[in-house]
């Protein structure tokens, strides 16, 4: 039985990856940081089938004993401060979690379990003010936020440990990926949650920032398979994971409201306070290398993804209304 350790298991991707690895009959270990209230909603259906331990990427000693004891075959580093606007409000904390956290983990792996295969959750935000369209593994990085800068550090730390210490370390450059489990701050879920609340009479407007920004949005369930595939290859490498399509926030909004039979123009208010100090205007990934070498491709279209999220949010508010009425 292979053993996998996931940091950030309580997050969107961590929950899908844990499910995926359990299906592959892995023993799954997850690192969670202490909080005063339980924060396991995305993985509560897996409790009993996974082993959790407390650890924090800010605290290197807390990484040592789990890695020493578990001796994982694979480590997936998904933990990060992942919300881009917060990275301007808390640039130092973001650097500590999202950049130096990678160095702490890599160094602990080098010392405690150097044979473990390592996956780093890198991001299309590293392309930032993109030098070319679409972006591939050779496109230069030009990050536009403290988050993007921190992820760029994590990417190069991963490459450096691969080249200097011969760790089997891979960097997955993943473009935006969403699901009904996405946090409600991110634009896709912010929109689908608001659509459901408006449809159920619980809200009357949705305030958004830049409607013209374009992203390459895919389904998180597809993307965790790519993470695993990277660690099954004969040699470590870096891969862009994307759909190859780009859509604007405006298109996302139109599809989401229409999925509930609503006209978005009656509800959406553009709020200048939600504009970013430096925007990433256009992302579109070229996943040719992943398709050729990993045999990976996305399976959920942009429209189906947004409609899936609206449906899930509508159902959730319906369930809450029923349980309140009972
Ligand atoms: P997410 O839902 O925000 O989850 C982040 C996870 O990191 C949570 O489990 C969080 O724990 C944990 N975490 C944060 N700081 C930590 C610390 N100091 N020590 C231990 N754990 C910590 O993010 P996601 O969407 O699943 O993304 C997973 C990873 O992929 C992140 O690194 C993200 O930056 C990267 N990424 C995401 C996308 C995307 O579109 N989703 C694209 C490219 C890259 P708590 O539950 O305690 O907060
Ligand atoms: O914004 C625009 C915003 O916050 C997408 C993270 O997972 O993907 C994610 O980062 C776009 C931006 O994601 C609102 O200006 C308009 O252009 O959903 P988002 P992100 O910043 O692209 C990358 C790949 C990651 O690695 C990150 O961890 O939508 N936008 N109005 C808005 N965005 C938000 N959040 N809220 C708005 O009201």
Q: Mean pLDDT, the chain, as a whole number?
A: 98
Does residue 209 belong to any structural domain of this protein?
yes
Does residue 321 belong to any structural domain of this protein?
yes
Residues 209 and 226 in one domain: no
> What is the reported pLDDT for 272?
98
326, pLDDT greater than 90: no
The response to whether residue 190 sits with its C-beta less than 6 Å from ligand 2 reads: yes
Residues 211 and 111 in one domain: no
Ligand 2 closest atom vs CA 213 = 17
Per the CB < 8 A criterion, the answer to whether 294 and 240 are in contact is no
Whole-Å CA distances, 37 to 122, 132, 141, 182, 183: 29, 44, 38, 20, 17
Does residue 144 belong to any structural domain of this protein?
yes
Atom 8 (ligand 2) nearest CA: 176
> What is the reported pLDDT for 323?
84
| Alpha carbon of 315 to ligand 2 centroid (Å) | 24
Residues 209 and 110 in one domain: no
Measured distance CA(103)–CA(101) in Å, rounded: 5
Which residues are catalytic, by number?
A: 123, 125, 147
322, pLDDT greater than 90: no
> What is the reported pLDDT for 57?
97
Ligand 2 closest atom vs CA 275 = 15
Which ligand is in closest contact with the Cα of 285? 2
Q: Give the mean pLDDT of 295-317.
A: 98
Q: Into how many domains does the chain fold?
A: 2
User: pTM for this structure?
Assistant: 0.98
> What is the reported pLDDT for 283?
98
Measured distance CA(79)–CA(171) in Å, rounded: 14
177, pLDDT greater than 90: yes
324, pLDDT greater than 90: no
Atom 29 (ligand 2) nearest CA: 187
Q: Which residues contact 18 (CB under 8 A, 6 or more apart)?
A: 6, 9, 28, 30, 43, 46, 50
Of 84, 185, 214, the residue with max ligand 2 atoms within 8 A of its CB, to mutate for a pocket test, comes to 84
235, pLDDT greater than 90: yes
> What is the reported pLDDT for 295?
98
251, pLDDT greater than 90: yes
> What is the reported pLDDT for 325?
84
| Residue that wins the pLDDT comparison between 38 and 213 | 213
Domain of residue 22 covers 3-178+219-241
Q: Give the mean pLDDT of 103-121.
A: 98
Q: Give the mean pLDDT of 60-80.
A: 97
Structure-token pair, residue 259: 């999925």
Q: Where residue 198 sits, what CATH number does that domain have?
A: 3.90.25.10
Q: Give the mean pLDDT of 174-189.
A: 98
Atom 14 (ligand 1) nearest CA: 80
Q: Give the mean pLDDT of 22-45.
A: 96
Residues 310 and 261 in one domain: yes
Of 41, 78, 104, 283, the residue with max ligand 1 atoms within 8 A of its CB, to mutate for a pocket test, comes to 78
Ligand 1 pocket, CB under 6 A: 7-8, 10-14, 33, 35, 39, 56-58, 78-82, 97, 121, 123, 174, 176-177, 183
24, pLDDT greater than 90: yes
Residues 277 and 237 in one domain: no
Above pLDDT 90, what percent of the chain?
A: 97
The response to whether residue 182 sits with its C-beta less than 6 Å from ligand 2 reads: no
């Amino acid at each position: 039985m292979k053993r996998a350790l996931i940091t950030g298991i309580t997050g969107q991707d961590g929950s899908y990856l844990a499910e995926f690895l359990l299906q592959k009959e892995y023993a799954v270990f997850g690192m969670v940081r202490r909080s005063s209230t339980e924060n396991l909603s995305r993985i509560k259906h897996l409790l009993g089938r996974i082993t959790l331990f407390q650890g924090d990427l800010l605290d290197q000693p807390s990484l040592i004993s789990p890695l020493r004891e578990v001796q994982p075959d694979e480590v997936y580093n998904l933990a990060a401060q992942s919300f881009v606007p917060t990275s301007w409000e808390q640039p130092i904390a973001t650097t500590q979690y999202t950049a130096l956290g990678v160095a702490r983990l890599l160094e602990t792996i080098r010392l405690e379990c150097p044979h473990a295969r390592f996956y780093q959750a890198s991001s299309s935000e590293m392309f930032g003010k993109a030098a070319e369209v679409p972006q591939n593994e050779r496109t230069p990085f030009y990050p536009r936020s403290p988050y993007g800068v921190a992820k760029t550090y994590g990417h190069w730390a991963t490459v450096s440990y691969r080249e200097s210490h011969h760790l089997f370390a891979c960097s997955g450059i993943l473009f935006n990926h969403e699901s009904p489990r996405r946090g409600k701050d991110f634009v896709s879920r912010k929109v689908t949650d608001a659509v459901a609340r408006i449809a159920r009479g619980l809200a009357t407007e949705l305030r958004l920032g830049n409607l013209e920004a374009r992203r390459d949005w895919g389904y998180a369930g597809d993307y965790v398979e790519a993470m695993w595939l990277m660690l099954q290859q004969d040699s470590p490498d870096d891969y862009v994971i994307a759909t190859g399509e780009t859509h604007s926030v405006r298109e996302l909004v139109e599809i989401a409201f229409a999925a509930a039979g609503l006209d978005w123009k009656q509800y959406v208010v553009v709020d200048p306070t939600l504009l970013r100090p430096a925007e990433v205007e256009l992302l579109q990934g070229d996943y040719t290398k992943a398709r050729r070498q990993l045999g990976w491709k996305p399976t959920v279209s942009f429209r189906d993804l947004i409609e899936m999220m609206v449906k899930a949010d509508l159902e959730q508010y319906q369930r809450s209304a029923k349980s309140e009425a009972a």
